[in-house]
Amino acid sequence: MDALDKKFMELGADSAPGQEVRQDNSALAALTRGENIDGVPVDFSHGDVDAFAPTPGALEAWQEGYDRGGQQAYTEYRGDADIRNDVAARIATFTGAPLTADQELIITPGTQGALFLALGSVVEVGTKVAVVEPDYFANRKLVRFFNGEVVPIPLTYGAASDNNGPDLNVLETAFKAGTRVMVFSTPNNPTGLIYSKSAIDQIAELASRYDVTVIVDQLYSRLLYEGETYCHLRASASCPENIITIMGPSKTESLSGFRLGVAFGSAKLIERMEKLQAIVSLRAAGYNQAALSTWFNEPDGWLANRIAQHQAIRDDLLKVFRDAGLETAAPQGGSYIFPKLPPLIHEPEVFTRLLRSQANVTVTPGAEFSPHTVNSIRLNFSQDHKAAVAAAHRIVEMVERYRA
Amino acid sequence: MDALDKKFMELGADSAPGQEVRQDNSALAALTRGENIDGVPVDFSHGDVDAFAPTPGALEAWQEGYDRGGQQAYTEYRGDADIRNDVAARIATFTGAPLTADQELIITPGTQGALFLALGSVVEVGTKVAVVEPDYFANRKLVRFFNGEVVPIPLTYGAASDNNGPDLNVLETAFKAGTRVMVFSTPNNPTGLIYSKSAIDQIAELASRYDVTVIVDQLYSRLLYEGETYCHLRASASCPENIITIMGPSKTESLSGFRLGVAFGSAKLIERMEKLQAIVSLRAAGYNQAALSTWFNEPDGWLANRIAQHQAIRDDLLKVFRDAGLETAAPQGGSYIFPKLPPLIHEPEVFTRLLRSQANVTVTPGAEFSPHTVNSIRLNFSQDHKAAVAAAHRIVEMVERYRA
């Protein structure tokens, strides 16, 4: 096996969310216990934009973009200037820190695109990158792809705490030892944990002191449950110079089919990201950019209603899993929940395949998020409420059936 | 300057097509001769989708995709299976070689996306890559970004020949010396030269003999002028095992605003490309994928008419430039023309900026395509016919004004 074979084996996407349809499950029959469990299929690997429809007006905004013709089809690589102006102003308000549209913002093909460009702009051969565990599955893979080195930083979750966040002692030790970049998501994917103000301020302070670039993925920062508070790293008093914040309208707003994201922060890094975008995909699809006019610009009450609906699903799923004895942290934001499975007679990855083939429930194996969470499963519960709860009951039934 | 600063300096996108709006031209005034030349602004850096509208039905196909909802928003990373089935069948017919939709095709965010994924799947630190000169500006930059090594292969153009193509002796020497990958476009960007059957067969034979991966960019292979023939590498009798062909509907079909491309060929490489796409941008925008239903499926006579219109513009521009004594090869396919400038009192890059500021004409400097073509300028003549011809006359007038 040559170096590229090895590299791409490590980038394995077989269990990545949405790719389950490509799995070869011919060997599963021999491992199956009992009959299939009927129920409406639920794909928890991503949100259901039929259950939670795209932002009102997004379709019309796209059509207006199409009607504008060439001007909207071909934009600057960093995105249309007028659209960036609007978005930058709204993001400055939302995050509580100023932002210049011309220099400090780029529109990308999805938040994934933003993450790729951000890491590609700061990670080279041998660059040490602090990666929180568990966290979004692509973080580790991206560092590996750019030939950087992952420095794992543990995140404790599930315990009620005013100091939610990564292990700051491990983080400082890593920074001292030459770690140049840190990447993390808050609300955390896959657990829904929100980093506390204290954790954010300390990360900011440490990054400033050790001159570390911080890439913070705030994809879910609008979807906060009752009683939760959120702290934007870029608004922290000690905010480091080299910071990129990433957001996008794919989740809470259900605009995933448009593949839109933004990154904002350091003008120097945004410029690098644009140069990289020039050779990666040129720009986010021109007409799609127009749909951003609806972002942070939704009808009154729309966001509060969307949050309330998700909170109701969260509460029901939490009850189902906890009643069944599955250790499950309460998500503070976002639409992920990350229950832990008890010991089973099969490997967790086989169990998730059985869940799909026998019970019509698709989840993402915990191994995608860190080597230490192989016994958990991640569910994106932005789904039809009733179907999601029924599917959670099927998960519990399957757990009982395959319990070791 | 650290290694990343240097790397991104080399990825400079200041003169890249479409980025001219970001240039700081405050120093130009001191270099300017004479008055401004009036005329309808023409941006030859890319095609004008207002002059040549998107394929009929593309808008409606997109709307049907949007109406399908979640199923179209979230597809496999390599693209929706039904859409791949349709496109694969049409591409097999067009290229004259079979293609399996499930294993050998991926839908990407634009042809640029396909090129990035293809090179990213085969170039690692130190990989030697044969890059034709001149050729598409991103080829060299991509090799540099992946820390590979560019091995330049000269392309002769402008001489009538039955053996159009790169210098095959240089190519074989490069292959013998350990070059692992070759990338090229035909019709060639920026010259419009079409590789002859003989050149294609010999490239195929050499790549097979030396086990070289070939990435062939056929973006313009449908737009062939009267009397020209085209040869698909993948249909060559000696076609190498590791080949990826790249196409897309952004140019001839004017679907650039949808950012769609495809790559097809080696199943092993397509699988790598999908893994890479998973961390680069997940997938081509879901709803946009639906517009592919119009591709290779246009109304009767549509393509012939589009070719005839471009041929008429080509003929007129060629006459304007040749009458003015500018050495200009006749494009055989595609919509690029690459006239050579005489010695001027300013550097060519300054001249192109003056052209833009004084005469409302945007072109791409030849330096983007190879170090040996700094005295040429590239025009994408997929423009309003009358405006394009008038702009060509302004280019000639500016050349006379700044002649050394």
* ipTM summary value: 0.96
Average pLDDT over residues A104-119: 98
Does position A1 have pLDDT exceeding 70, yes or no? no
Contact between chains at A125 and B121 (C-beta distance less than 8 A): no
Instruction: Compute the distance between CA of residue A380 and CA of residue A360 in angstroms, rounded to an integer.
Output: 15
Average pLDDT over residues A152-169: 88
- So what's the pLDDT on residue A14? 73
Residue-averaged pLDDT of chain A: 96
- So what's the pLDDT on residue B19? 79
Instruction: Compute the distance between CA of residue B360 and CA of residue B354 in angstroms, rounded to an integer.
Output: 9
Contact between chains at B16 and A278 (C-beta distance less than 8 A): yes
- So what's the pLDDT on residue B273? 97
- So what's the pLDDT on residue A367? 95
Residues of B in contact with A59 (CB under 8 A): 66
Instruction: Compute the distance between CA of residue A15 and CA of residue A367 in angstroms, rounded to an integer.
Output: 9
Query: Which residues sit opposite B42 in a β-bridge?
Result: B361
Residue A176: is it exposed, middle or buried by C-beta count within 10 angstroms (0-12/13-18/19+)? exposed
Helix axes A385-402, A348-359, angle to 10 degrees: 130
> β-pairing, A261-265 with A243-247?
antiparallel
Does position A112 have pLDDT exceeding 90, yes or no? yes
Residue A117: is it exposed, middle or buried by C-beta count within 10 angstroms (0-12/13-18/19+)? buried
Per residue in A191-202, pLDDT (tens digit) is 999 999 999 999
Does position A97 have pLDDT exceeding 70, yes or no? yes
Cβ-contact B213, B239 below 8 angstroms: no
At B255, the amino acid letter reads L
Residue B392: is it exposed, middle or buried by C-beta count within 10 angstroms (0-12/13-18/19+)? buried
Token code pair at residue B295: 């591709």
Task: Give the C-alpha distances (Å, rounded to integers) separating A77 from B20, B71, B112, B163, B345.
Answer: 11, 29, 12, 37, 32
Does position B33 have pLDDT exceeding 90, yes or no? yes
Instruction: Compute the distance between CA of residue B389 and CA of residue A358 in angstroms, rounded to an integer.
Output: 66
Does position B12 have pLDDT exceeding 80, yes or no? no
Does position B51 have pLDDT exceeding 90, yes or no? yes
Closest of A376, A240, A388 to residue A309, by C-alpha: A388
- So what's the pLDDT on residue B385? 98
Asked if B267 is an interface residue toward chain A (Cβ–Cβ < 8 A), one would say no
Residue with tokens 């091995």: B151
Per residue in B283-301, pLDDT (tens digit) is 999 999 999 999 999 999 9
Contact between chains at B19 and A77 (C-beta distance less than 8 A): yes
Asked if B67 is an interface residue toward chain A (Cβ–Cβ < 8 A), one would say no
Per residue in A191-243, pLDDT (tens digit) is 999 999 999 999 999 999 999 999 999 999 999 999 999 999 999 999 999 99
Does position B76 have pLDDT exceeding 90, yes or no? yes
* DSSP H stretches of helix in B196-301: 197-210, 267-280, 286-289
* Dihedral angle sign, alpha carbons of residues B370, B375, B380, B381: negative
- So what's the pLDDT on residue A24? 82
- So what's the pLDDT on residue A160? 65
Asked if B70 is an interface residue toward chain A (Cβ–Cβ < 8 A), one would say yes
Cβ-contact B119, B141 below 8 angstroms: no
Q: Which residue of chain B is at minimal alpha-carbon distance from A137? A: B279
DSSP helix/strand/coil, B367: helix
Per residue in B297-316, pLDDT (tens digit) is 999 999 999 999 999 999 99
- So what's the pLDDT on residue B1? 67
Q: Given B3, B142, B282, which is nearest A279 (Cβ)?
A: B142
DSSP B284-316: S-HHHHGGGGGTT-PPTTHHHHHHHHHHHHHHH
Contact between chains at A49 and B69 (C-beta distance less than 8 A): yes
Cβ-contact A153, A167 below 8 angstroms: yes
* DSSP H stretches of helix in B195-257: 197-210
From edge to edge, which strands make up the β-sheet containing A377-380?
Answer: A336-337, A377-380, A364-365
Instruction: Compute the distance between CA of residue A377 and CA of residue A202 in angstroms, rounded to an integer.
Output: 30
Per residue in A115-136, pLDDT (tens digit) is 999 999 999 999 999 999 999 9
Does position B220 have pLDDT exceeding 70, yes or no? yes
Residues of A in contact with B122 (CB under 8 A): 4
Please identify among residues 91-120 of chain A the ones whose CB lies closer than 8 Å to any CB of chain B: 108-110, 112-113, 116, 120
Please identify among residues 37-66 of chain A the ones whose CB lies closer than 8 Å to any CB of chain B: 46, 48-50, 59, 62, 65-66
- Percent with pLDDT over 70 in chain B: 99
Per residue in A15-62, pLDDT (tens digit) is 777 777 788 888 888 899 999 999 999 999 999 999 999 999 999 999
Residues of A in contact with B282 (CB under 8 A): 18, 110, 112, 259
Instruction: Compute the distance between CA of residue B322 and CA of residue B245 in angstroms, rounded to an integer.
Output: 34
Structural domains of chain B sorted by starting position, each given as residue range(s) with its CATH number in brackets: 3-53+301-402 (3.90.1150.10), 58-294 (3.40.640.10)
Write down how long chain B is: 404
Asked if B258 is an interface residue toward chain A (Cβ–Cβ < 8 A), one would say yes
For A206, list phi and psi in degrees, rounded to 5.
-65, -45
Asked if A393 is an interface residue toward chain B (Cβ–Cβ < 8 A), one would say no
Query: H-helix or E-strand containing B43?
Result: strand B42-43
Q: Give the torsion through C-alpha atoms of A6, A10, A12, A15, to 10 deg.
A: 150
Close Cβ partners of A342 (under 8 Å, ≥ 6 residues apart)? A325, A326, A399, A403, A404
Write down how long chain A is: 404
* Per-residue pLDDT band at B7 (split at 50, 70, 90): confident
Average pLDDT over residues B381-397: 98
* Best of B82, B269, B275, B383 to mutate (most A CBs within 10 Å, chain A): B275
- So what's the pLDDT on residue A294? 98
For A251, list phi and psi in degrees, rounded to 5.
-105, -85
Per residue in A285-332, pLDDT (tens digit) is 999 999 999 999 999 999 999 999 999 999 999 999 999 999 999 999
Residue with tokens 């005839």: B308
* Per-residue pLDDT band at B10 (split at 50, 70, 90): confident
Please identify among residues 274-303 of chain B the ones whose CB lies closer than 8 Å to any CB of chain A: 274-276, 278-288
Asked if B309 is an interface residue toward chain A (Cβ–Cβ < 8 A), one would say no
Please identify among residues 137-166 of chain A the ones whose CB lies closer than 8 Å to any CB of chain B: 138, 141-142, 145, 147
HSE at residue A165, side-chain half, CA atoms within 13 A, is 22
